[in-house]
Amino acid sequence: MDLELSPDQQELLAAVQRIAEAYAAAPAADTSYYLDGTPLFAELRESGFLQAATIPEYGALGGALILETTSALPYSVGVTGSALVLPMITGEEFEGPVALMKVGHQGPVRYLPYARTLLVVGDEEVTVYDVADIEARPSRSIFADSYGSVAPESLKNGRKLGNVSPDDVLKWWSVAVAVEIGGAGDAALNRTVDYVKIRRQFGRPIGSYQGLQHRLAECRVMLDATRMLARSAAVTGDAAAAFLAASYAQTAAARVAYETQQFHGAAGLTREIELHFFTYRLRSLQGELTTLGASSLHASRLIWPGPDQLDTVAR
């Protein structure tokens, strides 16, 4: 498969990167756990970029490129649902940012505090809610994005999306998770490579030691593979490819978060540098949709269907 970007896709990526450039670094001396990226979300929406996935010249890969770019920023932009998931499952437009949640989920939901729409995925149906009509409460979080919880009893007045399959939502959500891990991992690794060039031990930069170079190179390989798997799944729209991409990306997230944190030493545990925006985001994305094992089980059932109970376990 040729995964080179077309000229149109290259222009789209360059345009989004130009807009995002103003958000490429955190404010000086900032010690926040997350930075509000809703102004960038508004700019992308008003410029029409969030509908790129619906344009044939760009396709789902166009939405993935936007998500790659924003996930590599220290700001929490919240384009996951608006740029990739919803455009690929329905032609209907919803007010964003859009938060995504599975039925029965008891923990915090990413982007919920400033989301305008909540999409809830069940086993049989998909329901959409106006966040203004439900009881949503902000949650304290260190994971680089805004999180909130919703009172289950307030989820009463949603609208069923009869033309939307839960499996399709899970497929594109899996692609989005892989894309975001690739973007956040790139940001963490690039900052780490810069850091090991200036951090010195035994009279020389630690980046000059071959053992560190090998470990950083392995992270680079894993992130390149994550990007290619995610882009391939976006281009093909294949469900097995989507779940495999998510499974591999979740494995890569653990390795990249560990190594980049290690090579920053104690500085990596502070909020005075930007690394925490990406390593903490990587940790949250490992459990964003489902567990690593469940993603692998989803893929295995699609590739090797058989009369067993793995479907139930995977959900």
pLDDT tier for residue 92 given thresholds of 50, 70 and 90: confident
pLDDT in tens, 59-69: 999 999 999 99
State how far the Cα of 108 lies from the Cα of 287, in Å rounded to an integer. Answer: 11
Give the Cα separation of 42 and 258 in Å (integer).
33
Tokens linked to 186: 């790139």
What whole-number distance in Å separates Cα of residue 114 and Cα of residue 82?
A: 13
Count CA within 13 A, CB hemisphere, residue 171: 20
Digit-coded pLDDT (tens) for 106-131: 889 999 999 999 999 999 999 999 99
Per mean pLDDT, which range of 73-87, 242-256, 282-296 is the poorest?
A: 282-296
Phi and psi, residue 198, nearest 5°: -115, -20
**Beta partners for 129?**
118
Q: What is the pLDDT of residue 313?
A: 45
Q: What b/e sequence results for 113-137 when a residue is b if at least 16 CB atoms lie within 10 Å of its CB, and e otherwise?
A: bbbbbbbbbeeeebbbbebeebebe
Q: Higher model confidence: residue 79 or residue 312?
A: 79
Asked whether the beta carbons of 171 and 209 are under 8 A apart, the reply is no
Residue entry with tokens 């994550």: 226
Domain covering 166-314 in this structure, CATH number: 1.20.140.10
Q: Above pLDDT 70, what percent of the chain?
A: 95
Q: What local confidence, expressed as pLDDT, does residue 151 receive? A: 86
Tell me the whole-structure pTM to 2 decimals. Answer: 0.92
Average pLDDT on 51-65 reads 95
Average pLDDT, integer, range 165-181? 95
Q: Give me the residue spans of the domains in the chain.
A: 7-160, 166-314
